[in-house]
Amino acid sequence: MRVSELLTFALLQASSAWSSPNEPYEARTVPSKRPQHPIKPYHPGKAFPPSPSRTKTCVVKANGNGTDDSQNILKAIKTCNNGGHVVFPKDKKFTIGTALDLTFLQHIDLDIQGTIQFSNDTDYWQKHAFYQTFQNATTFFQLGGTDVNVYGGGTFDGNGQVWYDLYAKDIYILRPILFGAIGLHGGRIEDLKFRYSPQWYTLVANSTDVVFSNIDIAGGSVSKNPAKNTDGWDTYRSDNIVIQNSHIDNGDDCVSFKPNSTNIVVQNLWCNGSHGISVGSLGQYVGEVDYVKNIYVYNVSMSNASDGARIKVWPGSPSALSGDLQGGGGSGAVSNITYDGMVLSNVDYAIEITQCYGQRNITLCNQYPSNLTISDITIKNFSGKTSKKYDPLIGYLVCSSPKVCSDIRIQNINVTSPSGKDLYACGSITGIEKQVHCTTNGTKGGNS
């Protein structure tokens, strides 16, 4: 045995607990080193809690042949909770056919080297996936607790094709989200591949102090039925979050800041096929107060998308964007939002700000202005070209009333339409005509 092999064997033997009874199988499994991706160049400002090293290791056994591995996974996690390192070995596929509530995690690393695939039993998941209350969101599993790290270079696979085809037949089905960080306080999710989510790829809800780094998101439909609503990340009621250094090829928002998202940095992303980096949608529910503040978005490549920077707010009256997405009348505020540095290619609108989301009748939107204010917005240092869709327009800056929309700064935007012009549809934003080339022709309701 070589020195390196002896060292590896000795380290494994030093671990105090193993969950699998198969010793030769364990001995061949080498835990991954925890990634050390720095948070840079920007930081939300609040310190992230330390994560102590782990003192025991558990290896999850895969049953194979598509058999449900949920009990094996749950057993290993419970054995190694409170100070352990759970390994999902490389070149193994783990099938999850049972909804797992993992919100009890404490001081644990989940080392995903292989592939975790969720079963395609749509009837089961519609009944048993975890309901997250906002916009009828559901998740395959709930990962929460304190000091949880997930990494390893492996893959989460949502088996999305069956869902894309089912949604084409019935828009009211509940499609699970691939990765649910629900009530996670202190954690890093890094060096992973997310594939074929039925709906949003990632929901971060009721969480604090979480970093996502080096995540690769992809997976479209192979049938005539597109993969819809496949947001990369949606943050909801969460604070001190970083999303960075990632590759997203999807069919909806690259990142979306949902209600009560605060102190968030998004940086160094490559986004393709998306609906942009979006604040909102907000103000959807009457009686709810939605806040999004202290957001910094830096250094994003955006191609083949509907939008680059986007802020979308529902109007003050009920509106329907589609049969399964409607609302309006909620209140709150969007403030201290910065988009700094975006390179655009074939994007419909470089910048879109609307308080008429879901309402295509501008007259009606102005009659019932949004109850949610937008203020202290900086959008700067953009370059590139838009698509032909709205040529000669490159942006849409329309609020429902100047009383609820103020202090919007558009700076150093070097973006042109295919015809070479750089016009914006403008409305109800005081002073915006001094910053950009406005036209009142061709205004519309917000994009879907």
Please give the positions annotated as active site: 275
Closest by CA to 245, choosing from 270, 265, 277, is 270
Contact of 111 with 152, CB cutoff 8 Å: yes
* Beta strand 93-96 pairing with 115-118: parallel
CA torsion 73→74→76→81, rounded to 10°? 130
Contact of 20 with 59, CB cutoff 8 Å: yes
Give the C-alpha separation, 87 to 94, whole Å.
Answer: 12
Give the C-alpha separation, 412 to 30, whole Å.
Answer: 50
Q: Which amino acid appears at position 137 of this protein?
A: A
Joined together, the tokens standing for residue 70 give 């949920």
Half-sphere exposure (CA, 13 Å, Cβ side) for 132?
30
3-state helix, strand, coil in the chain (%, to 5): 15, 50, 40
Residue with token string 């519309």: 444
- Cα angle 56-210-207, degrees, rounded to a multiple of 5: 105
Residue with token string 């986007």: 310
Burial pattern 216-231, b for ≥16 Cβ within 10 A else e, equals: bbbbebeeeeebbbbb
